[in-house]
Chains A and B, each alone.
Chain A
Amino acid sequence: MFYRRAGIRHTRYQDERQIWPLPFDRRLALLIFLLAIFAPLLIDRLYLVSYLLPWVIWSTAALGLNFLMGGAGQIHLGYGAVIAIGAYASVHMVRAGLPFELAMIGGGLLSAAVGMIFGATALRVKGLYLAMATLAMQYIVDFVIIQFPAISGGTQATLQVPRVSFLGVEVTGDLAPYYVALLICLLVTLFMLNLRRSSFGRALAAVREKDYAAAVIGVNTFRYKLLAFWVSSFIGGVVGSVLAVCYYRAISPDQFHLDLSIQLVAMVIVGGLGSVLGSFFGAALILFAPILLNQFFGFAASELGMTISTDLRSHVPLMLYGAMIVGFLLWEPLGLAKIYANLRNYFLVWPFRHARQ
């Protein structure tokens, strides 16, 4: 009903292959886009900087990881390291006087190069073994960053990001960083949306599902696995530079540890493997659930007069959050995106349920 599926007949392949074939979905996407554009007018600056901005950035990162995990079926437990390489590389380039636009691409390229070297193990190992290989990447990159003062600026040191401008606009204050992050997010989102309807995306999906069957229709599985790591790491590197310049503004090695990689994997899984929308949902849940739970317990303690020790208050949200991830893996392995898809399917033809399609 809401989606007004009835009576829509596409007569050209082009129309059928649109990103959103239904007008309702197109309008919904446009509405969300406009909300994102005008968000600074609609919400408080504090919320913009401390909630919306990180959500946009982490969603972009989740998209990059989802490309690899959902699109090409290769697990990556070191995506935080990929982001770290991009962040450090671009900050050093910016400090050396390179324009931010170039530093962003440079960070992406360096991440892509390093990521592909570790990704090359994917040509030999799968599943759990690939997880271990990428985990090794996380530790090696962490180690290198910490041990080389030339990169980290010394142990326990933070690296300040100088003032930069992006396409002629100085990235300072609250607004400019948000719009830079939003632009990058938009570009990555468009790429991911097109992936599903392009031959490149189909070839990756073929490698993901059955590599021998992919080979028999002429897909060079070797090449596509490497490409998947390359593209995903490139996106990770670009996100790293955006993260450093627009959000952190000063980077230190502890921002990119294993927790980050695990959180990103959780975003992808909770959100929905292979789903663009899911990456946004997943990022939102992983970012905001601990905050909301914390506030809920704070509210329970102060308003409802429950005696909750501070120890418990700080740990219960984390426990619930862990339970939530386990719950998703058990009951809805395709994540929040699948829940939305089920709802959408239900309302597509509601109340005429017999009229599927």
Chain B
Amino acid sequence: MSERPTRTSWDKQEALARPVGLSKGGREAPVLVCADIERRFGGLRALKGVSLSVEKGEIFGLVGPNGSGKTTMVNVMTGFYPPSSGTVTLFGQDVSGIAPHRIASLGVARTFQNLALFKGMSVLDNIMLGRHTAMRPSALGTFFYWWWSQREELAHRRVVEETIEFMQLEDIRNEPVEVIPIGLQKRVELARALVAEPRFLILDEPMAGMNQEEKEYIARFILDAREERNTTILIIEHHMDVVTAICDRVVVLSYGEIIAEGEPRAAIADPAVVKAYIGERAARRQAGAAA
């Protein structure tokens, strides 16, 4: 792992962070603080001044209708789209506009909405790649493999095997990654993210297209990752049952703006959220039926 960021300017971050109701490590500095993020694509304002903070050890949900800017938000956090204005602070370090691979080496891992596994490689090699930041790859190390690389390779293999066991991927570890079912591929991608031992894990729709059983598996892995590895997790998810079951706190986005936040059940029941999801008239009708 790369060097940990020094503990400076926490106070400023605390000031930036919005006061949050529910969070486990409320007194510790937040893992992620996004302050007034704006992202424009030409004339389109995909994010219109979004501010949020993720506390250490929490499972934080980012929800919202399609096209509300959730993935854009994550792309801003991980350095793919530098924010047009506003700042992203990770572990107390300003990372706005820093390249994705450097953000990864700070201890941030993520998965993608549409799988981003490496075809033509085995499941094992894909997961081994998750250890990249912890290894020292070099051309000479490859040439002198037996003397320079083998020991490192085997040491990291042990770490990878722990995660393979944790994610129950033992029997497919040697399969080419493109031949296994989508549900398993999603799990492999999660394993690749976890094996980096991230301090902050971002999951972009980890359960898209899964059946109930597979969803429950993934939910269990996410909870275990938090319990056993003390990982802070940000999750984008459309399955509201999952969001309410595992998230400590959610932020609801719509058209690039935060329309609700807080405890999941309360936030999702918020009239503005209902309206964003099913439209104003349907929301009114539903409210009428309830009354």
> Chain A: residues with CB nearer than 8 A to chain B?
13-14, 17, 187, 190-191, 194-195, 197-203, 205-206, 209-210, 212-221, 227, 231, 274, 357
Contact = CB atoms under 8 A, between A and B. Distances in A.
A13 B157 CA distance: 8
Given A206-B118, A209-B119, A14 B145 contact: no
Contacts of B116: 210, 212-213, 216
Given A215-B101, A218-B101, A218-B104, 10 more contacts: A14-B150, A199-B153, A200-B139, A202-B125, A202-B128, A202-B137, A209-B121, A217-B104, A217-B132, A219-B129
Contacts of A231: 139
B101 A194 contact: no
Among B101, B110, B121, B128, the most chain A Cβ lie within 10 Å of the Cβ of: B101
Contacts of A210: 116, 118
Contacts of A213: 112, 116-118
A200 B141 contact: yes
A177 B128 CA distance: 41
Contacts of B156: 199
Nearest to B160: A13
Contacts of A197: 145, 153
A47 to B, nearest CB: 32
B270 to A, nearest CB: 32
B130 A198 contact: no
A198 B153 CA distance: 7
How many of chain B's residues touch chain A, expressed as a range?
35 or more
Contacts of B100: 212, 215-216
A68 to B, nearest CB: 12
Given A191-B142, A198-B137, A17 B109 contact: no
A227 B138 CA distance: 9
25 contacts: A17-B153, A191-B143, A194-B142, A197-B153, A199-B131, A199-B132, A199-B152, A200-B138, A200-B139, A202-B121, A202-B129, A203-B132, A203-B137, A205-B120, A213-B116, A215-B101, A216-B78, A217-B104, A217-B129, A218-B105, A219-B129, A220-B99, A220-B101, A221-B101, A274-B120
Contacts of B158: 13
Nearest to B107: A218
Interface of B: 78-80, 99-101, 104-105, 109-110, 112, 116-121, 125, 128-133, 135-139, 141-143, 145, 149-150, 152-154, 156-158, 161, 174, 192, 196
A218 B79 CA distance: 12
Contacts of B132: 199, 202-203, 206, 217-219
Main SS of chain A's interface residues? helix
Nearest to A210: B116
A200 B144 CA distance: 12
Given A205-B118, A212-B116, A200 B130 contact: no
Contacts of B118: 205-206, 209-210, 213-214
Nearest to A357: B174
B202 to A, nearest CB: 9
Contacts of A274: 120
A217 B196 contact: yes
A200 B138 CA distance: 5
Nearest to A17: B153
Contacts of A201: 142
Smallest CB-CB A-B distances: 9 pairs? A213-B116, A218-B104, A218-B133, A199-B137, A200-B137, A215-B100, A194-B145, A209-B118, A198-B142
B124 to A, nearest CB: 9
B220 to A, nearest CB: 24
B138 A219 contact: no
Nearest to B202: A216
A217 B143 contact: no
A203 B121 CA distance: 11
A205 B121 contact: yes
A190 B143 contact: yes
A215 B100 CA distance: 6
Given A213-B112, A217-B196, A198 B129 contact: no
Given A215-B104, A216-B116, A203 B153 contact: no
A220 B79 CA distance: 13
Nearest to A70: B120
Contacts of B119: 209
Nearest to A14: B154
B165 to A, nearest CB: 14
A107 B129 CA distance: 33
Among A17, A195, A200, the most chain B Cβ lie within 10 Å of the Cβ of: A200
A231 B143 CA distance: 11
B120 A209 contact: yes
Contact of A194 (B99, B129, B143): B143
Given A14-B154, A212-B80, A231-B139, A199 B99 contact: no
A206 B137 CA distance: 13
A199 B149 CA distance: 8
A198 B135 CA distance: 10
A215 B80 CA distance: 9
A206 B119 CA distance: 9
A187 B140 CA distance: 12
B161 to A, nearest CB: 8
Contacts of B105: 218
A17 B174 CA distance: 11
A236 to B, nearest CB: 14
